[in-house]
Structure 1
Amino acid sequence: MTIEQVFKDKTIKAKAKVALIGEWILNNELPLEELLTFAEKQKPVDKASCIEAVEYATKKTPAIADDNLFAYVTKALKEDEPRIKWESAKVIGNVAVLFPTQLNKAIQNLLSNAESTGTVVRWATAYALAEILKLKTDNNKMLLPKIEALCEKEEDNGVKKKYLDALKKVKK
């Protein structure tokens, strides 16, 4: 079965598609590069599912990420589709530890999503920013006050908790 066939098969539910493709990535049956090339040509809902499959895989095995994937999800944070933004943010949160010197653009793009009207976008952004903050890189000089300000303004408890947990770990 190919990626195209998975997306065309209406008998496979969305979450099952994501898990199937994620497992293909983990088992080296589908190169990340091939999935990202496919995703680029898809409508937003399917592109988001491709990124969600990457999120599924990087949650289990962050080390599968390479520079190209990191650049791809960093750029995808600027897309209009909220689900693409939040899935990309979750991938960045999963793999930031592998790219400690390449976080500047990701941080910029995440900060621009941090005040999104969508709660899920803000939650995923908070997750990624919190993971970056916990790395204690030089970025923290700029990032710490911004996260404190975001935390102060945030009204959703789930989003706020992501920031507070990271702040506690960093200030120890």
Structure 2
Amino acid sequence: MTIEEVFQDKTIKAKAKVSIIGDWLINKELPVDELIVYAEKQKAIDKATCIEALEYATKKNPEIADENTFLYVTQSLKNDEPRIKWESAKVIGNVAKLFPNELAKAIKNLLPNAESTGTVVRWATAYALAEILKLKTDNNKTLLSKIEKLSEKEEDNGVKKKYLDALKKVNK
């Protein structure tokens, strides 16, 4: 079965598509670059499913992401579609530790999403920013104060908790 066939098969539900493709990535039956090329040609809903499959796979095995993957999801944070934003942010959170020298651009693209009206976008963004903060890179010089301000303004407890947990770990 190919990616195309998975997406065309209407009997396969969205979550099943994610796990099928995600497992292919984990088992190296599908190169990540091939998934990205496919995703780029799709409408927003299928592109988001591709990125969600990437999130599923990187949660289990972050090492499947290479620099091209990281740059792709960093760029995808600017997409208008909320689901693409939140799935991309979750991938960044999963793999940030592998790309300590590439985080500045990701942070730049994440910060506007921290002010999104969508709670899920803000939660995923908080997850990614928190994971980056915990790495204690040079980015923390500016990121720390921004996360402190975001946590003060945030009204959703789930989103706020992501920030506060990271701040506790960093301030130990």
| 3-state SS, counterpart of residue 97 of structure 1 | helix
Return the offset for 1:82: 0.2
Q: How far, CA to CA, are the matches of 2:162 and 2:97 in structure 1?
A: 17
Q: How far, CA to CA, are the matches of 1:22 and 1:84 in structure 2?
A: 16
2:42 maps to what in 1?
42
Aligned residue type for 1:6: V
1:118 maps to what in 2?
118
Aligned residue type for 1:74: T
Where structure 2 has 5 or more consecutive residues not aligned to the other structure, the ranges are none
TM-score scaled by length of structure 1: 1.00
1:71 aligns with 2:71: yes
2:57 maps to what in 1?
57
Aligned residue type for 1:171: N
Identity %: 79
2:91 maps to what in 1?
91
Return the offset for 1:13: 0.5
Q: How does 1:1-172 map to 2 (within 5 A)?
A: 1-172=1-172
Q: How far, CA to CA, are the matches of 1:118 and 1:145 in structure 2?
A: 23
What root-mean-square deviation, in Å, do the aligned CA atoms of Structure 1 and Structure 2 show? 0.3
| 3-state SS, counterpart of residue 88 of structure 2 | helix
Structure 1 runs of 4+ with >2 Å offset = none
Return the offset for 1:112: 1.0
Tell me the matched-pair count: 172
Q: How far, CA to CA, are the matches of 2:25 and 2:96 in structure 1?
A: 19
Return the offset for 1:95: 0.1
Return the offset for 1:39: 0.1
Return the offset for 1:50: 0.1
Q: How far, CA to CA, are the matches of 2:64 and 2:34 in structure 1?
A: 14
Q: Deviations over 1:37-69 (max 9, x none)?
A: 000000000000000000000000001110100
| 3-state SS, counterpart of residue 115 of structure 2 | coil
Q: How far, CA to CA, are the matches of 2:103 and 2:164 in structure 1?
A: 21
Q: Deviations over 1:142-163 (max 9, x none)?
A: 0000000000000000000000
Q: Deviations over 1:122-145 (max 9, x none)?
A: 000000000000000000010000
Q: How far, CA to CA, are the matches of 1:5 and 1:106 in structure 2?
A: 32
Q: How far, CA to CA, are the matches of 1:98 and 1:165 in structure 2?
A: 21
Where structure 1 has 5 or more consecutive residues not aligned to the other structure, the ranges are none
TM-score scaled by length of structure 2: 1.00
